[in-house]
Chains A and B, each alone.
Chain A
Amino acid sequence: MSHTAFQLPGPRVEQEADYVVIGSGAGGATAAVTLARGGMRVAIIEAGPWRDPNDYPQSVYGAMRDMLDAWGSNLTRGRAFWPIVQGSLVGGSTVINSAIAVRTPGDIFEQWERDHGVGGPAMADAIWRIQDQLEHELNVEEVPEVALGRSNRLARKGADAVGYDNHYMLRYVKSCRGAGQCLQGCRSDRKQSLNRNFIPEVLTRGGSVVSCAPVARILVEGRRAVGVTGRFRHPQTKKRGAEFVVRAKKGVLVAASVTRSPLLLARSGVKNRAIGKGFRAHPGAPVFGSYDEPVDMNTGATQGWASIAHREKPGFKLESLSLPLDMIAGRVAGSGELLMERLVEFRHLAMWVQACRAETVGEVRSALNGQPAVHYTLSRDDMVRFREGIYTVAATHAAAGARAILPTIYGMPYKLLPNEIHKLKEAPLDPRAYISILSHLFGGCVMGKDPERSVCDGRGRVHGYEGLHIADASAIPTNLGVNPQHTIMALARYWAEGILGAG
């Protein structure tokens, strides 16, 4: 079997496999390789192109063009328009994220069991066992000393001084060099994004990859999923190419992303009232610290430091995140000569973020143009958490020795002195005052026991259908409060093992 990329309009491209996996991100690629290792012939169908490290862009412009779904222009629809960032290429968001590996907290399985009738101790044991495997297979290691960079070190120093638990991150990165380009894809080929390992392994095990191939619909006969169909789309010109049909002898796994999996099910005529419901996220917002000495935040790991000390109460996590100059220039407040004056101190800035463990539930619907429309407005309680997270980041900067803190909140001063950060406790609770990004997404095809309130069961099987499975974060029914990639991958393998076990 092989890789098939964009095909010009012409004869229909037809393939057949035991299982068809829609999407090649953390969930899809992990499910696919698990099935392939179990002796199944797997076809992965990916909407985006397959790019290798030599193909990766260097600039933010290139990353938006080549790697992000819809140029990152998917915005939440609600009180504020916050961008939803997702990768659209073979490997999905694993190519553009920081490859952070955090084990699923035990309380999550209790919550799933209590509120959704899935999960519990048996699932917890299985997921942690799989996470052991994944850590070994994908070389999870702590950010090495050589790749830390000053921003991550300062964050550690600040958090220690404030006095909360914090750590350098564990990531799926082998011998990181600290090139500071995780978000544009790791051209050093150190990050273990799944286009570099699991997906090639699927090919070597006799599977196939069809890229540049957005699935239009799942073929359902009666109550059984039997394949997928769509038309190739050129990654640059967006022109439509040949039609493709990939038939599945045994089943179809949907891992097209939190925003796209629900739409695909709905478009394919799958009947379930819970489709699109239960959308959740970790809305994040940055706080800059300005330091006397240059920080040069683009030197060192893009993300190397984190804390989940506030995960349970009040409900946020903290991380370092170094954005490139061509992104920062659009994020620093101001315009005209004032903006240019502020940009002069770029080398002295460190950026750390809070990501809120929001309880707000939104919904994924189809917009008029068929694209996902995410309806989501953070509740007041979540905004209080959000604001507290921002205050904690500011306090960490102050403790790390920042001469000023730049909160980037509308209605607040551009700069606060370290002894003025208490003002952030009165910062606005209107989401429109913040520049936030939604990067960790959950729900839309949530798992649960009750078919009236969930799309699939705890094994990822879509209620009422045969051979139709969910294998991505859209099945996750709650917020995790930690980086989700490790959980998504472990769940996908758990579900794929279930499929193999059911034979």
Chain B
Amino acid sequence: MIWLIKFAMCTMMPRTPALPGIADTDLDGFLRKLKKESDRIYWFGLVLGALVFAITPLITVGVPLPAFWLPRGLLDRHAERLVAHPIYMLRQAAALVRLSAGMCWGADSAVRARFNLPPYGPDPGTFRTS
């Protein structure tokens, strides 16, 4: 399922002339970590969101194809319309994917440098053991 999430995230946050896209960050590493560490409900919601993203082009752009078969321009329109869709559940499903993508993208050192922000150090994940 990771490829499906990755596909949705890369579509939602593509590289543009002004900014790096999420594909320019360590997205694979981020998703591996997220799958391993996240709350089960959170991960389930993310998979569901990616699935919704893949199967809804008929609803958003009127094309009966899964999102990964759409040409680039249509795919971008699909991504844009899904997060602003009148059906609340659809936009909520997409919102979780976008939120997670934002966490990966916005923590990347190169992205942060574009905004004059210092790089993040590690998230140690440590705690008192005694």
Complex Cα spacing A184 to B14, Å: 27
Q: Is B56 an interface residue (CB 8 A)?
A: no
**In the complex, A255 Cα to B103 Cα: how many Å?**
31
Partner of A60 from B21, B107, B127 at Cβ < 8 Å? B107
Q: Pick the residue among A51, A80, A298 that contacts B127 (CB under 8 A).
A: A51
Q: How far is the CA of A424 from the CA of B76 in the complex (A)?
A: 29
Q: Which residue in chain A gives the minimum CB-CB distance to B94?
A: A335
Q: A60-B106, A330-B98, A336-B14 are in contact. Are A5 and B129 (CB under 8 A)?
A: yes
Q: Are the C-beta atoms of A325 and B117 separated by less than 8 Å?
A: yes
| B125 pairs with A66, CB closer than 8 A | yes
Contacts of A343 in B (CB 8 A): 19
Q: Taking the complex as formed, is A14 at the interface, i.e. its CB lies under 8 A from any CB of chain B?
A: no
**CB < 8 Å: which of B18, B41, B126 contacts A340?**
B18
Whether B27 sits at the interface, judged by CB under 8 Å, is: no
Q: Which residues of B are found within 8 Å of A65, using beta-carbon distances?
A: 37-38, 123, 125
Is residue A162 within 8 Å, beta carbon to beta carbon, of the partner chain? no
B128 x A52 contact (CB < 8 A): yes
B19 touching A344, Cβ below 8 Å: yes
Give A116 to B36 CA distance when docked, in angstroms: 47
B120 touches A58 (CB 8 A): yes
Contact B106 A327 (CB under 8 A): yes
Which chain A residues lie closer than 8 Å to B91 at the CB level? 410
Q: What residues of A have a CB within 8 angstroms of the CB of B124 in the complex? A: 54-55, 57
Given A49-B128, A341-B16, is A325 in contact with B11 using a C-beta cutoff of 8 Å? no
Indicate whether A346 reaches chain B with its CB closer than 8 angstroms: yes
Q: Determine the distance from Cα of A58 to Cα of B95 in the docked complex, in whole angstroms.
A: 23
B3 is an interface residue with CB less than 8 A from chain A: no
Taking the complex as formed, is A333 at the interface, i.e. its CB lies under 8 A from any CB of chain B? Answer: yes
Q: Say which residue of A59, A330, A334, A339 sits within 8 Å of B99 (CB atoms).
A: A330
Alpha-carbon distance between A54 and B124 when the two chains are bound, in angstroms: 8
B42→A235 contact, CB < 8 A: no
Residues of B with C-beta under 8 A to A4: 130
Instruction: Report B73-128 residues with CB < 8 Å from chain A CB.
Output: 75-77, 79-80, 82-84, 88, 91-92, 94-95, 98-107, 111-112, 115-117, 120-128
Given A59-B107, A65-B123, A325-B106, also A336-B100 (CB < 8 A): no
Interface string of A55-79 (1 = CB under 8 A from B): 1011111101110001101000000
Q: Is B54 an interface residue (CB 8 A)?
A: no
Q: Which of A3, A329, A435 contacts B101 (CB 8 A)?
A: A329
Given that A55-B127, A328-B106 are known contacts, is A236 also in contact with B37, CB under 8 Å in the complex?
A: yes
Interface bin, chain A: 35 or more
B13 interfacial by beta-carbon distance below 8 Å: yes
Total interface residues on B, CB under 8 Å, equals 56
The residues in A between 322 and 355 inclusive whose CB is less than 8 angstroms from any CB of B are: 324-331, 333-341, 343-344, 346-347
User: In the bound complex, do residue A211 and residue B122 qualify as a contact, i.e. CB atoms below 8 Å apart?
Assistant: no
Q: Verify A70–B41 contact, CB threshold 8 A.
A: yes
Contact indicator per residue, chain B 20-63, by CB within 8 Å of chain A (1) or not (0): 01000000001000100111011001000000000000000000
Partner of A61, one of B12, B83, B104: B104
Given contacts A326-B105, A330-B98, whether A211 and B128 have CB atoms under 8 Å apart is yes
- Complex contact A51–B128 (CB within 8 A): yes
Closest Cβ neighbor of A72 among chain B residues: B42
Q: Are A335 and B83 in touch, CB under 8 angstroms?
A: yes
Expressed in whole angstroms, the minimum distance between the Cβ of A224 and any Cβ of chain B is 33
Give CA–CA (A4, B107) in the complex, Å. 33
B residues less than 8 Å from A341 (CB atoms): 16, 18
Q: Are A340 and B13 in contact (CB under 8 A)?
A: yes
> Which residue of chain B lies nearest to A236 when distances are taken between CB atoms in the complex?
B125
Q: Which residues of B contact A328 (CB under 8 A)?
A: 102, 106
**Of B16, B106, B127, B128, which contacts A337 at CB under 8 A?**
B16
Evaluate contact between B92 and A81: CB separation under 8 angstroms.
yes
Q: State A58–B123 Cα separation when bound (angstroms).
A: 6
A304→B116 CA distance, assembly (Å): 21
User: Among A49, A58, A60, A211, which residue has its beta carbon within 8 angstroms of that of B103?
Assistant: A60
- Say yes or no: is A432 at the interface (Cβ < 8 Å to chain B): yes
List the A side residues contacting B13 at CB < 8 Å: 329, 339-340
Which residues of chain B are within 8 angstroms of A198 by Cβ–Cβ distance? Answer: none
Is the pair A326, B76 in contact by a Cβ cutoff of 8 Å?
A: no
B128 touches A50 (CB 8 A): yes
How far is A280 from B18 in the complex, measured between Cα atoms in Å? 44
**Extra 10 A-B pairs, beta carbons < 8 Å, given A58-B123, A330-B100, A330-B102:** A4-B130, A57-B124, A61-B34, A62-B125, A66-B125, A325-B107, A335-B11, A338-B76, A339-B13, A340-B21
Spell out A's residues near B (CB within 8 Å). 2-6, 49-52, 54-55, 57-62, 64-66, 70-71, 73, 80-81, 89-90, 211-212, 235-236, 294, 296, 298, 324-331, 333-341, 343-344, 346-347, 410, 432, 435
Of the A-B pairs whose beta carbons lie under 8 Å apart in the complex, a sample of 25, sorted by A's number, is A3-B130, A49-B128, A51-B127, A51-B128, A55-B126, A55-B127, A59-B103, A60-B106, A61-B104, A61-B107, A61-B123, A71-B39, A236-B125, A325-B106, A325-B107, A328-B106, A329-B101, A329-B102, A330-B95, A335-B94, A336-B79, A339-B98, A344-B18, A410-B91, A432-B88
User: 3 smallest A-B Cβ distances: which pairs?
Assistant: A62-B123, A326-B106, A329-B102
